[in-house]
Amino acid sequence: MKIYPSLRSASIIALVFILAMSCTSNWPQFRGPENNMVPLVKNLPQVWGDGQNIKWEYPLEGNGWSSPIVWGDKIFITEVTLDENSYTPDTTKARPGRRPEYPQDGHYRWMVYCLDKNSGELIWEQMALEGKPRIEIHRDNTYASETPATDGKMLYVNFGMHGLFCYDLEGNLVWERDFGSYPTDGDWGVSTSPVVYKNILYMQIDSEEKSVLYALDKKTGEEIWSVPREEKTNYSTPVIWKNKTRTELVTMGLKARSYDPGTGKLIWELDLGGGRNIASPVYDKNTIYLGMEKRRDGGGTLFAVKAGSEGDITPSEGESTSSGVLWSVPNSGLSMPTPVLYKGYIYITDRRPGAMHCYEASTGRIIYQKTRITDAGPFWASPWAYDDKIFCPDERGTTHVIKAGEEFEILSTNFIDDKFWSSAAMIDNALILRGVSNLYYVE
């Protein structure tokens, strides 16, 4: 069929528009379309607070640290509710400002909610399962800490050791999988979110007894391939790294590992030198940046791994580089939040001291380290970057707005009276924040 120039031009314009809309109106997984907390929007709100620029609030009955995701006019969230009559709370173990510890012998409901983006009204809700939990969790964790993912047709909800559930976007259960239940380090629980790429759903399930990376057919839940992992409990979410050489599935643990997304074949691995894994990697076309939180057994080093690496790329003892490692920086400040990579710099928010670190991405040069953000509380949620600013939400409800670049400067703050551990979702003209009490739609 012959396509006339005017029709071809119109088709190209329409395609560009559709692609643009898909980038700005959807937030389909943990940390956004490209796993980077750098939204491709033009009108993201930069000023908000109690009673200011908040279009609606949706009250949350249960608990969960999962982040909201968005597709079109629908927002999806998960939480777990507890039958108040099924237990006696041990309030002696509750920290100030937090809900009491939830016991393993309580009766729970694992819930999935779909909200209307424009009004905040409930469209549908589904109970994935109910009963007593299979594992214990630390009082700071929840039974709904994993963020769902969607491809625009299906919604994939992981409830850790309690199963994986696939719904269509109208709330109908399509399939479910049970991978078993295994103890975690110190009964901390789990938090790894599912990842969707092309026709495959990836699940990293690490525990003290059994650790496996699964690749599932996203339409049926059937296993395509799986790889056993020489790892114990880990918490971070894998990333799909589309670099200048190939596309890789990169996972974290005591060793960072890269796999072929289609086959599960190991491409490279890097010993991270101990520590605890919670933060996910960040990347560009040339380099992926990753590391562990510093603990008594080591860790804390930020590594820059170049595209095209193969085999064991661990630097020799006493060295900071290798065939695959461009640079590494010890005592980097890596903690719970995943860093943000923005315009040539890596920004890390440090959980405990309320501090910030900045490194030049190309060289690892220290721009600033352990710079205290005035009156900042602990950082748990991931920071995001927009309009030459870095937005750093602390758990006390204050988002600290920092000037991007080599000069550290606090530009402003935004405050909502709630507790925030979940990372934000961002679409054109709107910011969606999950607190303990409410879900907030900022416009």
pLDDT digit string (tens) for 403-435? 999 999 999 999 999 999 999 999 999 999 999
Sequence letter at residue 233: T
β-pairing verdict for 425-427 and 398-403: unpaired
pLDDT recorded at residue 16 = 39
Q: Which residue's structure tokens are 């380099």?
A: 287
Q: Which residue's structure tokens are 């937005």?
A: 391
Q: What is the pLDDT of residues 287-331, one digit of tens each?
A: 999 999 999 999 999 999 999 999 999 999 999 999 999 999 999
Q: Which domains does the chain have, with CATH numbers?
A: 10-58+339-443 (2.40.128.630), 68-236 (2.40.128.630), 239-334 (2.40.10.480)
pTM: 0.92
β-pairing verdict for 266-271 and 311-312: parallel
pLDDT recorded at residue 25 = 85
CA dist., res. 148 & res. 267, Å (int)? 27
The dihedral through the CA atoms of 255, 381, 95, 61 has a sign that is negative
- Tokens standing for 284? 């560009």
CA dist., res. 61 & res. 79, Å (int)? 8
pLDDT recorded at residue 92 = 56
Q: Which helix (H) or strand (E) holds 270?
A: strand 266-271
pLDDT recorded at residue 42 = 85
The alpha carbons of the chain give a radius of gyration, in whole angstroms, of 21
Q: Which residues pair with 295 in a beta bridge?
A: 298
CA dist., res. 432 & res. 75, Å (int)? 9
- Tokens standing for 396? 């006390």
CA dist., res. 342 & res. 282, Å (int)? 10
- Tokens standing for 341? 């990579």
pLDDT recorded at residue 305 = 98
How many C-beta atoms lie closer than 10 Å to residue 375's C-beta?
A: 12
Chain center to CA of 328: 23
CA dist., res. 288 & res. 118, Å (int)? 36
Give the residue ranges of the chain where pLDDT is below 70. Answer: 1-23, 88-102
- Tokens standing for 303? 């590594």
CA dist., res. 44 & res. 39, Å (int)? 8
CB 369 within 8 A of CB 357: yes
Contacts 24+ apart (CB under 8 A), 364-368: 364/302, 364/304, 364/326, 364/327, 364/328, 364/329, 366/329, 367/406, 368/406, 368/408
pLDDT recorded at residue 102 = 67
Q: In whole angstroms, how far apart are CA 216 and each of 6, 224, 236, 264?
A: 43, 5, 19, 11
pLDDT recorded at residue 47 = 98
